Amino acid sequence: MNLDGIKITKIQYIILFLFLFLWLYIRAAPPQILSFIQTHYLFNYEHEFLKRGFVGEILRLSVENLNADIVYNLSLFFLFFLSIIFFKIFFIDFNKDTDIHKLIFSTMVFVSPLTIQHFIFDIGRFDIINILITLLCFFIVEKFHKNIFLVAILIFPLLNCMLLIHEGSFFMFIPMIFGFWFLKDSKKNIFGIQLIFFLIITFITYKISTLGLSTIYTYTEYYNFLVNRYFIFADDLASGRFFSIRSTAVEILYRDLFNTYDPNVLYPIFEDTIRIGFNIKWLVNNLILIILLSPVFFIIFTIYRSFFKVSDFKTKLFLITPISPIVLFIFGYDHMRWWALIFTNIFIILFRLCKEKDIYLKIILANIKRYKILYIFLILESFVLGPVKFMSTFDIIESLDFYKKFFL
């Protein structure tokens, strides 16, 4: 099938986007924001500085009576906005000269269980906001990379916002931002400034992670404070969007990697991750994901192998940065979430590199032509499997009797 010379109109793109988004939303959306995620919106700076309290502080200052409907609508806005941006990157920008192979690649990426479907299921997660900030940083670097001081001035507050929203963004997205900055401008005198800038961000990450622990309230006091203050605004239980305060979310404010700071918080982060994240259930979930999505792993491997053959050092470094969330496997047991972030990052930079040099686009097109059946299979499989969640894999797997018997 050849679509050369056929131009997709704006109306057709809008129809395609709405169709795909609504289909994926119906397939992947949970009945409400997960309670663990909801609780994060209640952290703020009212009594003390708390890590992950930036969004909650903005809401505290701007909303008189915060309730779960407000959080849900705000989360839906960011999700929809991210979906639009992804559609623009994956479809519109990539398909300026329409080709069926490009459309196949765009569709495979957009409907993947590891991209939009995952974020729909994980609606409300701060990752969505930080991906948007990451893409804004990419835009700034692309636009102003010839002026290093302007880039630094513009992205420094954005990187700090990312860390204040979630300190884990240091591993999720920030390496990719610096990798792109290095790709666009890697002169020796510039690299020194970039390195110093990165070390400053590293130090700020450390300070937020340590100073952001709660010291005024005990764990029990703060949990009860949140319940007493916010659960009364559960004004419409029938909506399924009332606040549900999750104790494990509050524990985040009373532990670091190797220590706990309250007798009711039993495990530090590393010990809890090993205890839960590497038990048989979690290992089986990882194996299920790798098996069912093995075509994605294979395709990315073949594309990366070809990219590395034609890339210089700075491009190879940029190609490595998307896998930085792999470090988070020792910080948390949201293994499926880490996989989703890794592959979302990879897809973002693949499309980015296609804009940099035609050779990368030619490699991807050749890959699609060679493995077209595999790509089509992945598109169909994506609709069947649904979203990769954050700790478990797919609902279709969880519905199987043998899985229920051994792992639920």
| Intra-chain end-to-end CA distance of the chain, in Å | 46
Write down the domain spans for the chain.
Answer: 10-407
Contact 103, 95 (CB under 8 A): yes
User: Cα separation of 400 and 292, whole Å?
Assistant: 15
Q: What pLDDT score does 96 carry?
A: 81
Contact 347, 119 (CB under 8 A): no
* Rounded alpha-carbon distances, angstroms, from residue 47 to 118, 139, 232, 265: 34, 36, 20, 21
User: Cα separation of 378 and 21, whole Å?
Assistant: 17
Encoded tokens for 34: 């997960």
Give the number of residues written for the chain.
408
Q: What pLDDT score does 6 carry?
A: 62
User: Cα separation of 394 and 292, whole Å?
Assistant: 10
Concatenated DSSP letters of 124-183: T-HHHHHHHHHHHHHHHHHHHTT-HHHHHHHHHHHHHHHHHH-TTHHHHTHHHHHHHHHH
Q: Which residues lie across from 114 on neighbouring strands?
A: none
Give, for 407, the enclosing helix (H) or strand (E): helix 401-407
Q: What pLDDT score does 242 carry?
A: 59
Q: What is the pLDDT along the chain (408 residues), one digit of tens a residue?
A: 455 556 778 898 899 999 999 999 999 988 788 889 999 999 999 999 999 999 999 999 999 888 888 999 999 999 999 999 999 999 999 988 778 999 999 999 999 999 999 999 999 999 999 999 999 999 999 999 888 889 999 999 999 999 999 999 999 999 999 999 999 987 767 888 899 999 999 999 999 999 999 999 999 999 999 988 887 543 444 444 457 788 889 999 999 888 888 888 888 888 888 888 888 888 888 999 999 999 999 999 999 999 999 999 999 999 999 999 999 999 999 999 999 999 999 999 999 999 999 999 999 999 999 999 999 999 999 999 999 998 888 888 888 766 666 665
User: Cα separation of 213 and 59, whole Å?
Assistant: 20
DSSP E strands, 132-216: none
Q: What pLDDT score does 407 carry?
A: 61
User: Cα separation of 216 and 250, whole Å?
Assistant: 14
Contacts of 227 (CB under 8 A, 6+ apart): 245
Q: Coil, strand or helix: which one is 255?
A: strand
User: Cα separation of 347 and 338, whole Å?
Assistant: 14
User: Cα separation of 163 and 206, whole Å?
Assistant: 10
Q: Which residues lie across from 255 on neighbouring strands?
A: 260
Q: What pLDDT score does 241 carry?
A: 46
pTM over 0.75: yes
